[in-house]
Amino acid sequence: MPFGLLLIMVEAELIQVLQLAVIIGIIPAFIARNKGKSFFLWWFYGFMIFIVALPHSLWIKPAHQKVEQEQNSEGTKKCFYCTELIKQEAKVCQYCGKLLHD
């Protein structure tokens, strides 16, 4: 087999591997994008180290969940006595029944 032909075959193989990496990198990128992360950054991450990026993308917490948590904590305060979260306007704790003074 001529050496030139061998080179072309190796090159074609390399291009296939690169194409596969590009496609595979999209998977963690989509997962991360659904959680409010940058699609391109995560695609690049998956392209470079797919084995790490895929479990990482599954593991990260969605960004909007954090926002919801922050919204939920708005309008609430901790009971001075039992430290349960109660409504900001509450005069009596719904958990321990103690009178609250602001």
Q: Can you give the binding site for Zn ion, defined by CB under 5 A?
A: 79, 81-82, 93, 95-96
Those residues whose C-beta lies under 8 Å from the C-beta of residue 46, and which sit 6 or more positions away, are 24, 25, 26, 27, 28, 29, 53, 54, 57
Q: Closest distance between Zn ion and the C-beta of residue 28, in Å? A: 44
Report how far residue 73's alpha carbon sits from residue 84's, in angstroms, rounded to the nearest whole number.
12
Which is closer to Zn ion, CB of 51 or CB of 99?
99
Cβ-contact 100, 94 below 8 angstroms: no
Which is closer to Zn ion, CB of 29 or CB of 93?
93
Q: Closest distance between Zn ion and the C-beta of residue 20, in Å? A: 58
Which is closer to Zn ion, CB of 31 or CB of 93?
93
